[in-house]
Structure 1
Amino acid sequence: MTSSGGNAPDYFNNAYTQFLQKKFPNWKFQYIQRTAGTTASELITAGTAIDITIEAHTGIIDGVITPGIQYDISDLIKKHNIDLNRFEPVTIDAMKSMAGGQIWGLPISMLSLVTFYNKDIYDKFGVPYPKDGMTWNELADLTRPLNKLEDGTQYLGLVGNTGHMTLMNNFSLPYVDPKEGKSTLNNEKWKIVMESVFKGEAQDPGFQNYVRENKNKMPGKDEFTKKRNLATYVYFSELATDANMKGINFDIVSSPTYKELPNVGAQPIPTYAILAKTSRHKEEAMEVIKYLSSDEYQLERAKLGFITPLKNPEVRKAMGSGYDQKLNWNAVFYNPFAAVPAKGSFENIGEKPLVSLVPDYILGNKDLNTVMREAEETANKAIEAEKRK
């Protein structure tokens, strides 16, 4: 087994191997860690026999398509009587759109966005806590009074993790049109994302000055978990399990929606257990994939605070129950997930030009039309250069 994530062996053991070894005591499981610079293609070229690769949806292009290890398991799904209706529909649809209608693996977890808030900062300034179901505009208005310089500390009201706000946007926009092979940034919905998220959180002069002094780097996880001067942070729900969160008096609510698209949440990032074409043990590999997507395994993972791709209400209700701190875990499922759009081989190229211009936008160095035009032009040039290789 391997993964593009390059997770440390201890993480992989805690997440997968320890459960698999109990379920299949007579089988041996080997994790091949992909260190920095090691690609799936290089492993295949070296003759490494991969049975299963664990890939987030965002890693399928580099981890599966590029090395050419995709394998349709549709017949095996039928043979093993696996009911695809058990899964959150967007996870199956996302796989099919990426695989041209085929199914290369089953979803075994998801990443999704929630809104974290530090109760102590809200209490300090007498601001009411956020609630489930808020829009970006409502959350920006609520948190604006929390942008304050107090006793030498610049407090920040609201930050949405820059890359994730665009990648997982509620409008289901890809960065690059998979058919045309061109940037999608010349789109009014992208402007709504930029105006609602980044202008919404950064109108305060103190916030803007903080970014300037931070060498134009957007604040984020460190401000919430380490510096603890950030009141509200929209990020992956898994942050709740981070060791740096210990000692923070926090809770979560649903990630913000857009007034232009009510009651639709952000896209999830599904993670799949994918059966590789190189496997010499496809039946056994399918048994492993079946187990990783089972109620039995998913229940144990949910208790640890990881999002299940299953619709099973009992599994969802168990989420986070293994932790002493009781959180509003229902926030993860408060709004239906946005669809994950089809993505082509140039998708990753289209992201950086937009994300890199966010600081210039919030600081007022460039207006929105300029930002979107420059990002689109840069992305298209990079795509054309890639096509010529």
Structure 2
Amino acid sequence: MMLKKTVASVVVSTMMLSMLAACGGGSGGEDKGGTGTTAQPSDTNEKADLVVFSNSGDSVESWNERFGNAIKQKFPNYNIKYIQKQKDYGIKELLTSGETIDIYWDSIGGFASAVLDNGLEFDMTELVKKHQIDFSKMEPSVVDSIKLIGKDKIYGIPVFNNNMVLYYNKDLFDKFGVPYPKDGMTWTEANKLAQQLTRMDGKQYVGLSSSQTHMLPMNQLSIPFVDPTTEQPTIFSNEKWREYFDTVFVGPSKSQGYVEYMKQLKDAIPYRNEFLVEKNLAMFAWLSSIVFVFPEEFKSMNWDMVSLPTFESLPKVGSQAYPTYFTVTSMSKQKDQAMKVIQYLTTDEIQTKLSKIGLMPVSNSDAIKKVYGEESIFKGKNFGASFYNKFAPIPAKTRYDSLLLTPYAKAVPKVVMTGDYNTVFRATEEETAKKIADAKK
């Protein structure tokens, strides 16, 4: 894809740290432990017409349940038009049609490229000060991630978060008389547990797998996809990738029958279908929010979750956070009104609401985190597993990261099947270097 501008990846700067601290200075002391952001009095007579769009593809119903209905109640004279991404109708098609986007939101994986590539970036620093958003009361690693999008600028406000946990099928553990996994396990312990569940019993069962498309960009070793200095892929040059692959992906596959099972899957690692539908995968590392993406499938299972296993060298360090940002776009003619909406989504009121329904808050309030999932359809599950570990630091992000995800993910089964790290990593690095070069043209 041809990019309009060349934007280098950025690193954390002390100037940005100072700026964020200054932006959070207007909250007073009333919201200790919360986001530090209270709902500003709204002028119920103020009118606004705002268009909201996201590349996430979230449905209108999902938008209204999580955000739209609450916004309408808070701002009754605001006309909020949420446009859902369609298969052949994304952000470029929307902009080409002449539509104005006032608020754009997306997860960290796609936010930078969508905003920067389409000229939607707008520095919200002054709006943050004006509307008193206190970053100091949010999860620190999520706040740090803001600095990775625009140097010394604030291009996005984190509203909700995500991370990785370990799901398990209780019926399979009961079937084979194996004790359930626990919060706080290491990968070594998880792999040993998985060995007891990788067995043939009428059909092949496997103990442990992970969603590589999520584990790789959220890896616990904080390895960047792209070197921030050279703007080159890291999968061959950064030796940490070998340690990561060996522990997370190759480790579970060492049990007899695992690789043979992968061959039945056309050389793919066990994934969603094997866990949710076939139910012959005992443990699966996946997004903490995924139960609300596939609720009917999870309802058909006897499941629970525990914290993501950790590396011995990094005790109690889980995956990276995977925040979702909201931004006022450069093209909006109603920036203040758009910012009022975003500010409202960061208040304790909305953060508590999101937490209760099972959407991970960005607030670092223990009280808000404590109610996580308690009003969801899966009330009673171990939602606290999502907060058991600390978040791993988020490394430098570039607009090229999304181009590298698929090739990096395809490297996983190749390494597991062949054990040839050097050949697979070198070929992947050559392929992804070309993708970056093409994108820069």
The TM-score with structure 1 as length reference comes to 0.95
**What is residue 263 of structure 2 aligned with on the other side?**
212
Q: Within 1, Cα distance between the matches of 2:290 and 2:439?
A: 35
The aligned runs of 1:206-245 (5 Å cut-off) are: 206-241=257-292, 242-245=295-298
Q: How do 1:303-382 residues align onto structure 2 when only pairs under 5 Å count?
A: 303-323=356-376, 325-364=379-418, 366-382=419-435
For structure 2, list consecutive stretches of 5 or more residues without a partner in the other structure: 1-51
Per-residue deviation, 1:232:
0.5
Q: Give the ranges of 4+ consecutive aligned residues of structure 1 lying more than 4 Å apart after TM superposition.
A: none
Q: Does the Cα contact within 8 Å between 1:40 and 1:62 map onto a contact in 2?
A: no
Q: How does 1:49-60 map to 2 (within 5 A)?
A: 49-60=100-111
Could you say which residue in structure 2 is the equivalent of 1:92?
143
Structure 1 residues 76-106: Cα deviation after superposition (integer angstroms, max 9, x where no partner):
1111122111111111211121111211221
Q: 1:168 corresponds to which residue?
A: 218
Q: Does the 8 Å contact 2:242/2:421 carry over to 1?
A: yes
Supply the AA of the counterpart residue of 2:406: K
The 3 A distance-change label for structure 1 pair 97 and 62 is closer
Q: Is the 8 A contact 2:222 2:394 kept in 1?
A: yes
Distance 1:265 1:77 in 2: 30
What residue number does 2:191 align with?
A: 140
CA distance in 1, matches of 2:56, 2:291: 20
Moved more, 346-355 or 115-124: 346-355
Whole-angstrom CA distance in 2 between matches of 1:96 and 1:336: 20
Structure-2 separation of matches of 1:246 and 1:335:
26
From 133, 155, 160, give the equivalent of 1:109: 160
Letter in 1 for 2:269: M
Q: CA deviation at 1:179?
A: 3.0
Q: Equivalents in 2 of 1:315, 1:7: separation in Å?
A: 24
Is the contact between residue 168 and residue 266 of structure 1 (CA under 8 Å) also seen in structure 2? Answer: yes
Unaligned runs of 5+ in 1: none
Q: Give, in angstroms, the shift of residue 271 of structure 1.
A: 0.1
CA contact under 8 A between 1:41 and 1:66: conserved in structure 2?
Answer: no
Deviation of residue 46 (structure 1)?
2.9
What does residue 77 of structure 1 align with? 128
Counterpart for residue 45 of structure 2 = none
| Aligned counterpart, 1:257 | 310
Residue aligned with 2:361, SS: coil
Cα RMSD, aligned residues only: 1.5
Indicate whether 1:178 and 2:228 are aligned: yes
In 2, the alpha carbon distance for the partners of 1:188 and 1:51 equals 43
* SS, match of residue 265 in structure 1: strand
What letter matches 1:160 in structure 2? S
* Partner SS for 2:194: helix
How does 1:268-283 map onto structure 2 within 5 Å?
A: 268-283=321-336
Give the drift of 1:353.
2.5
Q: CA deviation at 1:350?
A: 2.5
Give the C-alpha shift of residue 64 in structure 1. Answer: 0.6
Alpha-carbon offset, residue 131 of structure 1: 1.2
Tell me the residue number matched to 2:73: 22
Q: What whole-Å deviation, never above 9, does each CA across 1:208-241 have from its counterpart, x for those lacking one?
A: 1111111122211222211111110100111233
Per-residue CA deviations over 1:235-270 (Å, capped at 9, x if unaligned) read 011123322101322111111111232221111110
Give secondary structure in 2 for the equivalent of 1:68.
Answer: coil
| 8 Å CA contact 1:55, 1:274 repeated in 2 | no
Q: Which residue of the partner structure matches residue 437 of structure 2?
A: 384
Deviation at 1:202, TM superposition (A): 0.9
Matched residues in 2 for 1:314 and 1:218: separation? 39
- Report the 3-state secondary structure (helix = DSSP H, G, I; strand = E; otherwise coil) of the residue aligned with 2:286: strand
Distance 2:360 2:63 in 1: 16
- Match of 1:18, SS state, is helix
Cα deviations by residue, 1:130-160 (Å, 9 ceiling, x for unpaired): 1111111110011111011212x22110011
In the other structure, the counterpart of 2:30 is: none
Q: Could you say what secondary structure the match of 1:322 adopts?
A: coil
TM-score normalized with structure 2 length: 0.84
1:6 offset after TM fit, Å?
A: 1.7
Equivalence for 1:290: 343
Cα deviation for residue 274 of structure 1 reads 0.9
The amino acid that maps onto 2:315 is P
What is the CA–CA distance in structure 2 between the aligned matches of 1:77 and 1:148, rounded to whole Å? Answer: 55
The 8 Å contact of residues 177 and 344 in structure 1, kept in 2 or not, is answered as no
CA displacement at 1:25 relative to structure 2: 1.5
Deviation at 1:41, TM superposition (A): 3.5
Partners of 1:371 and 1:214 in 2: how far apart? Answer: 20
Query: Cα deviations across residues 250-295 of structure 1 (Å, max 9, x unaligned)?
Result: 1111111112322211111100111111111111111100111111
- Give, in angstroms, the shift of residue 357 of structure 1: 2.2
Within the alignment, does 1:159 sit opposite 2:209 as a pair? Answer: yes
The amino acid that maps onto 2:425 is: M
Contact kept, 8 Å, 2:149 with 2:155, in 1: the verdict is no
Moved more, 37-46 or 180-189: 37-46
Counterpart code for 2:398: G
Contact 2:172–2:282 (CA under 8 A) maintained in structure 1: yes
Task: Give the SS at the match of 1:156.
Answer: strand
Contact 1:253 1:331 in 2 (8 A): yes
